[in-house]
């Protein structure tokens, strides 16, 4: 317990550092990026695996630096287009509270973008560039510990736009506990741990495999440690971008529950019966509270969709529409229950 709390505190310090450093601090160095990049809107794909040099040269047209204007300053981050029409995925904390968003392309041009979706619970956001651009395909399944990966982004300042670092996947399905400044605890789950160097400003940039596909969105690193960075798996982002492409005004249904995997709950020495999403919190205003779901319940399936953790729940909800009826299957003190609800 103590070590987890300490690590959560370390990660929280990283977020504080992001906030302090990125609000108005910019090194006076001109970016060294090309104005000959082919920015023709298209899907960028590689045939099989390739060298790091070839991957970088091929994919960089789909990757942007982000300047998010704030009261009294601005934040710097990164993003990657994964859908035609200029749909760019980034971190929610990069654009939180933004008064205006500018994206910087690999050919040394820039344009504005609009925020069209955000979810702070998984730290993802989608912005839409006012200029169409190339985009990348994604890899959601074939991830292996030890495989080579590239992180591309804008560390520290827009002067360092399209910085590339290389590493390996160190672990999969990591959960990080974060101590918030209001005394509460939150969790980031299902993270890809890797050792490609990332710094403030890399947030929202892609983690890319050697086939040129996006496997994750870089979100934070562990302060006080070497080579411990984390990326959010791309699968949830891909699902919501597809929904937004169909309907820019799409809003995901809201259940009002928060939890962790049963495996992580047991690691925290919580005694539970059954496997699935262990419910740790209930929104008093959410439909789940109204329908009787309780803290301590374990949701293992919704309709025919298996639920193992919070990311599974988010992916399921992104696939649904407000007003849909669902059946929630759960364990309560070892007893199986079914609850129907309209979300």
Closest CA to 132 of 216, 204, 64: 64
Rounded to 10 degrees, the C-alpha dihedral 267/271/276/282 comes to: -100
Could you list the beta-strand ranges (E) of 29-131: 43-44, 63-70, 73-83, 87-90, 100-104, 110-119, 124-129
The answer to whether 215 and 139 have CB atoms below 8 angstroms apart is: yes
What is the CB neighbour count within 10 angstroms for residue 192? Answer: 25
Of 157, 203, 262, 288, the catalytic one is 203
Is residue 203 flagged as an active site residue?
yes
State how beta strands 185-194 and 110-119 pair: unpaired
DSSP conformation class of 313: H
- The residue whose two tokens read 């160190």 is 170
Phi, psi dihedral angles at 260 (to 5 degrees):
-130, 165
Q: What angle do CA 193, 113, 218 make, to 5 degrees?
A: 5
Find the DSSP H helices in the chain: 2-22, 52-59, 92-95, 234-246, 262-267, 287-290, 310-318
Is residue 123 flagged as an active site residue?
yes
Q: Which residues pair with 75 in a beta bridge?
A: 68
Q: Can you tell me whether residue 247 is helix, strand or coil? A: coil
**290: its two tokens:** 């109204």
How many residues are there in the chain? 343
Is residue 38 flagged as an active site residue?
no
Find the DSSP H helices in 149-285: 234-246, 262-267
The C-alpha atoms of residue 202 and residue 317 are separated, in whole angstroms, by 28
Of 68, 78, 98, 123, the catalytic one is 123
Catalytic site positions: 93, 123, 203
């Amino acid at each position: 317990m103590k070590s987890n709390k300490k690590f959560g505190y370390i990660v929280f310090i990283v977020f504080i550092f992001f906030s302090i450093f990125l609000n108005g601090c910019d090194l006076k160095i001109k970016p060294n990026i090309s104005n000959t990049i082919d920015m023709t809107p298209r899907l960028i794909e590689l045939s099989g695996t390739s060298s790091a040099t070839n991957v970088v040269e091929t994919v960089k047209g789909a990757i942007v630096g982000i300047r998010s204007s704030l009261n009294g300053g601005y934040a710097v981050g990164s993003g990657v287009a994964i859908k035609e029409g200029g749909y760019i995925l980034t971190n929610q904390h990069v654009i939180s509270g933004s008064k205006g968003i500018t994206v910087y392309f690999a050919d040394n041009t820039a344009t504005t973008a609009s925020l069209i979706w955000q979810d702070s619970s998984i730290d993802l956001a989608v912005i839409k560039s006012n200029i169409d651009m190339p985009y990348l395909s994604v890899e959601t399944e074939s991830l292996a510990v030890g495989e080579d990966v590239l992180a591309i982004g804008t560390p520290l300042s827009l002067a360092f736009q399209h910085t590339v670092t290389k590493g390996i996947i160190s672990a999969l399905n990591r959960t990080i506990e974060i101590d918030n400044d209001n005394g509460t605890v939150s969790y980031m789950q299902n993270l890809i741990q890797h050792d490609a160097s990332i710094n403030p400003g890399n947030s929202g940039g892609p983690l890319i495999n050697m086939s040129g596909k996006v496997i994750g969105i870089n979100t934070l690193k562990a302060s006080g440690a070497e080579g411990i960075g984390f990326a959010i798996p791309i699968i949830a982002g891909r699902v919501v971008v597809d929904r937004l492409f169909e309907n820019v005004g799409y809003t995901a249904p809201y259940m009002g529950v928060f939890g962790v995997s049963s495996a992580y709950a047991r690691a925290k020495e919580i005694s539970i019966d059954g496997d699935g999403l262990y419910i740790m919190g209930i929104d008093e205003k959410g439909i789940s509270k109204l329908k009787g779901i309780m803290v301590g319940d374990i949701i293992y399936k919704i309709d025919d969709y298996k639920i193992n953790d919070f990311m599974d729940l988010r992916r399921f909800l992104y696939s649904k529409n407000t007003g849909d009826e669902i059946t929630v299957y759960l364990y309560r003190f070892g007893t199986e229950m079914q609850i129907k609800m309209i979300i």
